[in-house]
Amino acid sequence: MRFGPHRIVRFALGSALLIVVGLLVPGWLLNQLMFGFARGLAVLGLLVLFRAGLVSLGAALYFGLGAYSIALLQRGAGIDDAIVLVLLASTISTVVGFVLGFLLKRYRGIFFAMMNLALSMILYGAVVKNRTLGSTDGFSIAQPRFFGMLFTDPSHVKLALFSLLVVVVAGAMYFVQIYLNSTLGWIGAAIRDKEIRVEYLGYSAERAIHIKYTISACLGGLGGAFLALTLGQVDPDSMLNWVVSGELLFVLIFSGTASILAPFIGSFLFELLRTYALELTPIAWQFIIGGTLVLLILFAPNGVWSIFELMTSRKRT
């Protein structure tokens, strides 16, 4: 599949439309969009791995690393420009993912999942026990600048951050779509089905998995960085804990893996579902979320995206 200028124009128009939507929607809904898109970046990284038959239970490692990089770069290095912070946070996550990829590319199945979980919990334990890293309280994040400009109106800050997030999401989707339709991307399906055949064809399955893991780490770091900037704080329980990894994996199953759009649609719907579930039943909101996932697995095993595809196909007919 070719990706010519017309596809770039589509992504640009879609991004511009979303930014306009951000101008029109109320503040609470804009927050939900930002939370959903930030987590959607990390879920997109899990999708890249899932296409190769790999399931990670340690996505919080890079999600939290991206978030904490924002806080530590701001506090320690005095960097306060949002664009520079996001670039550095994603670079740190990418480098760590690349280094750990030399170890993790050898594992498959439950061993791959549990190794990721173990590494994420090592970082969680290190942060919780270290007062310099904020311990269980975490850090607050100061209002960032955008191209050196500091906005005084909080709504302007939010809109500027949302615009940056939309641009990054569009770029990530475009890159991942190109990658998944390349030779290295298609190798993922072959690895999932029969890895030994990939080796017989002359490709290195471990090298392909290493690349996928590094891409997933980069996207996870981006998601954590934007969530930290959106919330204005970081703490280990909401950024690094194993529950965060489970939540991101939940959203992947909830969303479906058939399209690069699915993680963002599913993440946004998940944010709405959790918000209203908490409002309706603060004590038992997990039952609503768990029940929703059970119903999806029973009646729409390919996730929310399959329902969306079914609705659009019916409209065409």
Highest mean pLDDT of the ranges 188-192, 248-252, 303-307: 248-252
pLDDT tens digits for range 258-270:
889 989 998 999 8
- Mean pLDDT of the chain, nearest integer: 87
Give the model's confidence band at 10: pLDDT under 50 very low, under 70 low, under 90 confident, else very high: confident
**pLDDT of res. 314:** 63
Round to whole Å and give the CA distance between 170 and 7.
Answer: 11
Give pTM, 2 decimals: 0.91
Residues paired with 81 in a beta bridge: 145
Give the model's confidence band at 4: pLDDT under 50 very low, under 70 low, under 90 confident, else very high: low
Answer yes or no: are the C-beta atoms of 187 and 201 closer than 8 Å: no
Region 242-255: mean pLDDT is 90
Indicate the range of 33-37, 49-53, 101-105, 273-277 predicted with least confidence. Answer: 273-277
- For the chain, the C-alpha Rg in angstroms (whole number) is 19
Question: Residue 1 pLDDT > 70, yes or no?
Answer: no
Neighbour-count burial for 8-36, b at 16+ CB within 10 Å, e otherwise: eeebeeebeebbeebeeeeeeebbbbbbb
Indicate the range of 37-41, 73-77, 169-173, 312-316 predicted with least confidence. Answer: 312-316
Round to whole Å and give the CA distance between 144 and 154.
Answer: 11
Cα distances (angstroms) measured from residue 201 to each of 34, 221, 298: 43, 33, 38
pLDDT tens digits for range 198-241:
877 778 888 989 999 999 999 999 999 999 999 988 998 888 88
- Domains of the chain, by residue range, sit at 5-316
pLDDT tens digits for range 99-149:
999 999 988 889 999 999 999 999 999 898 888 888 888 888 888 888 877
Round to whole Å and give the CA distance between 150 and 80.
Answer: 10
Round to whole Å and give the CA distance between 124 and 243.
Answer: 11
Round to whole Å and give the CA distance between 167 and 37.
Answer: 11
CB atoms within 10 A of CB 83: 15
Indicate the range of 3-7, 241-245, 258-262 predicted with least confidence. Answer: 3-7
